[in-house]
Amino acid sequence: MRARPRTRPLVLGLLLRAGGVAHAAPAPDFAKQLPLEVSGWKRPARPQVYDASNLYEYLDGGAELYISFGVRRVLAFFYEKGKDREIKVDVFDMGTSHNAFGIFAHGRERIETEVGQGSEYSAGLLTFWKDRYYVSVLGYPETEESRAVVRALGRAVAALVPRNGPLPPLVGLLPRPHLVPASVRYFRHHVWLNSACFVAPDNLLGIGKGTEAVLARYAPPGGKHVLVLVEYADAKAAASARRTFAARYLGSPAAGVTRVKERFAGIRIVGRRAVVVLDAPSRAVAEQALGAAAGVIQQSK
């Protein structure tokens, strides 16, 4: 049963933020500019419109994920062709390109660049991001025809977004050697720290408002591990997070690299940034990973 949201007028032409810097960006009028019909698939003239306050009515339990990435507004377009054949086009205005990248990267399994600044197509679902927009086009059940229309609609949405947006700078501080590119995650809510390996239900690293975090898997010859970088408001906040993490995860406030559940973990502070290694197969791999990341951060200054 499709949710019935209250209809709201589209407010366009706002001053918007992209990449953390205020820009007077042109706002696409998706409702006007997206085609009303593609290969016999038709949509109503007006999309359904949601924001963080009522998104749960539409996403059926999935809204919190988008709220955790700062969603501002969602336009939901439904293209239909006959009975029980539907393609959903959901355009998420995430406020910044950082958040748009974050929500896109959250679920991706591989790197594709067919649409926007990064995309992924799998079994009827196309997702991509461009500037501050994250877009999902879902055609289910998938057919050869619906697959072509899903891709066409994705390209149509992307074409309406006039420019690319910047990646979070923190992503650029991840060491490149042995990085698994599709594993890179960017987030500002602590719960996503557990997405690569479970750390704790609590917010041990103090990730939240005023912080940013990236996480990635690495696959060097010595063994796979996970690296996390967290950027705090200042060095004092970073040091505080280090103490909490070391005390509660590593077992002592002064702990260095430590064996945790038959693997190795550690934390190092560089200015207002924390480097955390998780799930490393040996002390040497953990130390090497911390050193490599710290080196990249120091060189960036």
Partner 1 sequence: MKEAGIGRREFCVSVATVGGALALHLPGRLLAAPAGKSRVVLVRNVDVLDAYGKPKEAVLEQMMAQALTALTGQRTAREAWQSLLGPGDVVGIKSNEWKYIPTTTQLEHVLKRGVQSAGVPEASIGIDDRGVLKHPIFQRATALVNARPMRAHHWSGVGSLIKNYIMFVPDPPSYHGDSCADLGKLWHLPIVKGKTRLNVLSMLTPQFHGVGPHSFNPKYVWRYHGLLVGVDPVAVDSVGLRIILARRRAHFGDDRPLPVPAHHIQYADTRWHLGTADPAKIELVKLGYAKDLLL
Stretch that binds partner 1, among 11-19, 123-131, 163-171, 284-292 (CB under 8 A): 123-131
Distances (CA, A) of 80 to 20, 86, 129, 252: 37, 4, 24, 59
Measured CA distances, 40 to 2, 30, 44, 86, 149 (Å): 22, 19, 13, 11, 10
Binding mask 88-107 for partner 1 (x = CB under 8 A): x-x-x-------------xx
Place of tokens 């293209």: 79
Sites for partner 1 among residues 141-180 (CB under 8 A) = 141-142
**Cβ atoms of residues 232 and 211 within 8 Å:** yes
User: What's the CA gap between 127 and 8, in Å, rounded?
Assistant: 25
Q: Considering only residues 52 through 91, tell me which ones interact with partner 1, judged by CB under 8 A.
A: 56, 59-66, 74, 88, 90
Determine the interface stretch with partner 1 among 16-24, 139-147, 150-158, 244-252 (rule: CB under 8 A): 139-147
Under rule CB under 8 A, residue 201 binds partner 1: yes
Alpha-carbon distance of 35 to 5, in angstroms, equals: 22
Q: What is the 3-state secondary structure (H, E, C) of 199-257?
A: CCCCCCCCCCCCCEEEEEEECCCCCCEEEEEEECCCHHHHHHHHHHHHHHHHCCCCCCC
Whose Cβ is closer to partner 1: residue 142's or residue 287's? 142
User: Residue 289: helix, strand or coil by DSSP?
Assistant: helix
The reply on whether position 129 binds partner 1 by CB under 8 A is no
Using the rule CB under 8 A, which residue among 14, 123, 180, 235 binds partner 1? 123
Question: How many positions of this chain bind partner 1 (CB under 8 A)?
Answer: 37
Interface residue with partner 1, options 184, 196, 227, 280 (CB under 8 A): 196
**Which residues would be at the binding site for partner 1 (CB under 8 A)?**
1, 56, 59-66, 74, 88, 90, 92, 106-109, 122-125, 127, 136, 138, 140-142, 191-192, 194-198, 201, 224
